[in-house]
Amino acid sequence: MPWRPILLAAAGILLALGLAAALKLGALDAIARWTAPRPKPPARPPAAAPAETAAPTPPPPAAPVIKPGKLLVRAPGAEVRITGAHAAGSDVEIAAKCGAFTVVDDADGWSVAVKYRRAGGALSLTVESTPLAMVYFEDSPLGRIGAIKVGGAPVQLVFRRPTGGEFALIVKYAP
């Protein structure tokens, strides 16, 4: 007679009896509510004598100085003005790490919202026009909101409306 099935049946019966006893005595509830003992906080060191003076804390390090730059903005054949930034004519002072401004062409009714972020010797621009238009950078479409990096060489951004008409900006960054 093989002993293996008999041993497995006996183990199953013992397991069922053990679970029934645990339920009857509430042992499973006690296990579920059990929490580990928490360690005591470390003892505080004794207070320093009043005669001793603590070493002065050093001042925080100075913030890095950001050298101002200038973004040159030109719109061929149009008079533009800059709002939301310090600008001399159509040259925007870039003194912070990031910021935003708007280029407005009152003659044609265009405006371009520009967000910038400095990245070393370059400037990352995100542009969106009103009225909504497709943004082109060197004849490559970027979408309704364009993102480019600008450096010391002038680049041209063209905003083309689906219904016709376009507005062009030439930008160059001088750190």
Q: The tokens of 175 are what?
A: 């750190």
Q: Does residue 62 belong to any structural domain of this protein? A: no
pLDDT score for 12: 94
From CA 169, how far away is CA 28, in angstroms rounded? 74
Report the largest interatomic distance among the alpha carbons of the chain, rounded to a whole angstrom: 105
Intervals of the chain under pLDDT 50: none
Q: Are 101 and 126 in contact (CB under 8 A)?
A: no
Q: Look at the chain and report how many structural domains it folds into.
A: 2
Burial 102-141 (b: 16+ CB within 10 A, else e): ebbbeeeebbbebebbbeeeebebbbbbeeebbbbbeeee
Q: Does residue 55 belong to any structural domain of this protein? A: no
Q: Does residue 100 belong to any structural domain of this protein? A: yes
pLDDT score for 115: 92
Label the pairing between strands 69-74 and 166-174: antiparallel
From CA 11, how far away is CA 22, in angstroms rounded? 16
Whole-number Cα distances in Å, 156 to 137, 140, 169:
6, 11, 6
Full residue range of the structural domain in which residue 118 is found: 69-174
pLDDT score for 167: 87
pLDDT score for 34: 67
pLDDT score for 165: 85
Whole-number Cα distances in Å, 1 to 10, 11, 68:
16, 18, 94
pLDDT score for 79: 78
Q: Does residue 58 belong to any structural domain of this protein? A: no
Q: Does residue 59 belong to any structural domain of this protein? A: no
Q: What is the pLDDT of residues 109-127, one digit of tens each?
A: 888 999 999 877 788 889 9
- The backbone region for 18, taken as left when phi is positive above 0, alpha when psi lies in -120 to 50, beta otherwise, is alpha
Same domain, 21 and 103: no
Q: Does residue 92 belong to any structural domain of this protein? A: yes
**Surface-to-core class of residue 67, CB atoms within 10 Å of its CB (0-12 exposed, 13-18 middle, 19+ buried):** exposed
Q: Does residue 87 belong to any structural domain of this protein? A: yes
- The backbone region for 84, taken as left when phi is positive above 0, alpha when psi lies in -120 to 50, beta otherwise, is left
Indicate whether this model's pTM tops 0.85: no
Q: Does residue 56 belong to any structural domain of this protein? A: no
